[in-house]
Chains A and B, each alone.
Chain A
């Protein structure tokens, strides 16, 4: 259900009409946490924009705030200050449940520790996003297609515990793409995989990015991986210390 120009012509807020409106934009994002009674600034004044179909890598040492930034961009949390606009919608104006619905519509996720639902089979895991949108019938066909796409045909009835790490991550990838999201967020997707398996997963990701025009946001501390992105942002201590687009 990718909104095409023809079908969304009469929707004024639809981003596709406005070529200048980026898919993802954040302005002066700041996040603080209370830790042991003291306020800890984890992100400081982050601003950047990403066009539709773009591929950005966020890199930096552990603890520099990469996951926090990713969480804010995806609307998993609210920032202390600043704002995030995703596909033309200001996340700050949306309620928790509205953000959830927006995610069901536009966003896909891949995590370092896969996060498949252990009680569901591989196929059922892939079906969840479409089913959440009420597209039960489409979900099955799409799951078959994606299982084949990630090379797991015939493994659909297996539970996550019966799959290897690489296989689990491929299922997670299939799940992330099942509803053809506009943006895919990945938090160290290869962190728990060996180099060869990691390369396969990243290969799949960029293929899908190209085929579907999905905007990719990849958090990693692997420089080789980051190199495949079209743009790299480097974080240190919660601040952007380098942005390849600005360079």
Chain B
């Protein structure tokens, strides 16, 4: 053992510079891992600390409509049980706002506050003290975004429905604020006392009613919640507690963490690949040393130990470096994630995460180094007497090699299962990696065979020489294609998945698509709104009726009973809902905004039930047939023929599911979950929505303002603005995702350099010889060019094919989304990888080409 350590130390003294690749590979991978897991730990810690401020109270009740008398009754009971409870009530709704002094109008999210909300956490305003004065009627606090959008000043009057309220200041920070949330509509805070003056809470307007409770310290909020939840649920009032909120937030953030964890895992695996190729090169240069050691009587095991100790030590060095970098990156992560997280994350290095990173780095370094290192056991001592012959390769069926391979595979599977969101996806991930490696290997072998068979013997000498390098004895084709291709495969997959996920957040806004939406139009306002549109020269479409309704009973069972019976476990993304689990609570709690019509629209497709509306009805009699969107039908657990009874503003309307539709939601059309046939709903209270289009944003802004001035309850949305807001969110999310992908890119580059360096060593002696024979620098570089272009093309093209398959599977089945292939960007990545291969290849060859042959021979 002392010999092994001494030898390892003396050897690494000289090879540290050469093994920089190994250290770098491990460092980047570990940095990604540590940054992400330490950040997730800090995030969880922050959630724990800030959970109370996030909710702002001990208990929160919420409903999509005004609390029913029975719900109010239940609330009184809670307050009665916990003496000294403080109650604060909020109403939230969307509305149009404008400043009479300036032009333009904006859709805003209004919160009307009554009482001491928030009981925990602070809302900061400018000028300060604004929140405490909110209770005095007549004034509002707004998001800074609204001030700039409407060109307003503090002190201006804000028109909200029929009311004119003074802008008293702006809200600069509030707990639980996800900045992107306000992107779709700036917030306005007002006193509940001014609500009536706005006249906005008429029937049909969507509003959320909430009650926040501060429970005396002696009472247990969770116990109160458990006792009163069933009765409240039956009245469609949800009840949240701090501890449950914290739990579900942790669950969500945990999922985010695990997604990022997979990204880190990719970086770590790429790092492992970097280790393998660095060790491979290293061993090639060490064959002579190994042979001498064998001659001098060192056993195969001793030699292996010498190099394994070196690899492990370098792996440890790389891991330590990675931990330091990772903690540094963690400090930067909150900035990248700014606006996406509900809590303020303070930088706190997580030592368990650092220790785990150190361990994983060491393990990966050893596991990935072992396989290429094993070949030192078979270096024949005969090498000292003459150069090795082709037939002297390592024995094929070496049980130790197979064992090491199995160990490596097991390590990958273990890491994948640990990091992946679920065990199945971890195993799938590992299987995908195995499949990709196999395919790359096959492609490389096929290329060598094909070249040997169909060698382009008429090409100019330099190209022939370069291409011949790919299949000659001791060629590096398989090794380089594996490393390069695998790196490219992971990067391409990441890119494709990201592209497909972000693409879904785009609204289809083709040239002839509507870009102005007007809704909440009351029946008596239809003519007036249409007249306004015509006056501005805008096209007018037939308005679509909207009837708000709720589910009263499902297949004969009352919705209240379903809701009171308890909640169905939440569904994780990618996890299919188990059938027969009963309806998902949100489907029963929500208010449906349904329509009635006698045909399908262009964005709808029949899935079941045949023609819409059923031709036999109403002649056949029975309850009204309804068409239900297929995803909702799954969530509700209903099929064609099931009965659903609706509460339409107090009127009971029975119906039977007669038709299921698929709806393409991305198309901007008035799309509906539930569609009735014409007839049964015509007498029900209803409002209308209509679409129009104006190319000039100024025209859109003017129309919006004119309509809100004449019809304050009508909401108009400028789709272009929505798109802009969405784009802002998407670019924030994309930035965060790309930031993580950077790690993979960095390791990918290291792997590439390693892979190319592998082949460089092979070419070194030959290049020196060619120079001795009179080859010019240019000629040597051209030979290298031919070889690297071929290698780069093969590796990145194979990788692209594989990545397309993998990304398709992921997007289709894991993220349950549509897959599309961005051809132009993909060809760019292929070219970039080829260019990078050639560049690194030429760069390393240039070194050989520059130096006099003698010096190179001496150095080797």
Contact = CB atoms under 8 A, between A and B. Distances in A.
Interface of A: 33-34, 67-68, 70-71, 74, 76-77, 96-97, 100-105, 107, 109, 111, 115-120, 124, 128-129, 131-134, 136, 161, 175, 187
Contact of B14 (A68, A101, A111, A119): A119
B6 A104 contact: no
Contacts of A117: 289, 292-293
Contact of B298 (A68, A71, A132): A132
Contacts of A109: 295-296, 384
Contact of B382 (A71, A97, A105, A116): A71
16 contacts: A34-B391, A71-B382, A71-B385, A76-B385, A100-B300, A100-B381, A102-B297, A103-B295, A115-B291, A117-B293, A128-B296, A131-B3, A132-B293, A132-B296, A134-B2, A187-B385
B261 to A, nearest CB: 39
Given A119-B289, A131-B6, A104 B296 contact: yes
B interface, by DSSP: helix, strand, loop or mixed?
A: helix
B299 interface: yes
A64 B289 CA distance: 27
B3 A76 contact: no
Contacts of A77: 380, 382
A161 B859 contact: yes
B571 interface: no
Contacts of B292: 115-117
B224 to A, nearest CB: 73
A104 B297 contact: yes
A67 B299 contact: no
A115 B859 CA distance: 14
A138 to B, nearest CB: 13
B473 to A, nearest CB: 12
Given A118-B289, A119-B13, A161-B859, A76 B381 contact: yes
B297 A115 contact: no
A interface, by DSSP: helix, strand, loop or mixed?
A: helix
Contacts of A175: 296
Nearest to B858: A161
B691 to A, nearest CB: 76
B298 A96 contact: no
B510 interface: no
Contacts of A76: 294-295, 380-382, 384-385
A175 B7 CA distance: 15
A124 B11 CA distance: 11
Contacts of A128: 7, 293, 296
Contacts of A187: 385
B297 A107 contact: yes
Contacts of B591: none
A117 B380 CA distance: 16
B854 to A, nearest CB: 12
Nearest to B291: A115
User: Which of A101, A116, A118, A124 has the most CB atoms of chain B within a 10 A radius of its CB?
Assistant: A118
Interface string B784-827: 00000000000000000000000000000000000000000000
Contacts of A124: 10
A132 B302 contact: yes
Nearest to A109: B295
A134 B13 contact: no
A67 B380 CA distance: 14
Given A76-B382, A77-B380, A103 B296 contact: yes
Nearest to B289: A117
A115 B288 contact: yes
Contacts of B288: 115
B388 to A, nearest CB: 12
User: Which of B297, B301, B858 has the most CB atoms of chain A within a 10 A radius of its CB?
Assistant: B297
Contact of B299 (A68, A97, A111): A97
A170 to B, nearest CB: 16
B386 interface: yes
Contact of A97 (B11, B301, B858): B301
A100 B6 contact: no
Interface in B385-420: 385-386, 389, 391
A134 B5 CA distance: 12
B15 interface: yes
Contacts of A34: 391
Contacts of A119: 10-11, 13-15, 289
Given A100-B294, A117-B289, 15 more contacts: A33-B391, A71-B381, A74-B381, A76-B294, A76-B382, A100-B297, A100-B299, A101-B299, A118-B289, A119-B13, A119-B14, A120-B10, A129-B297, A136-B3, A175-B296
Contacts of A116: 292
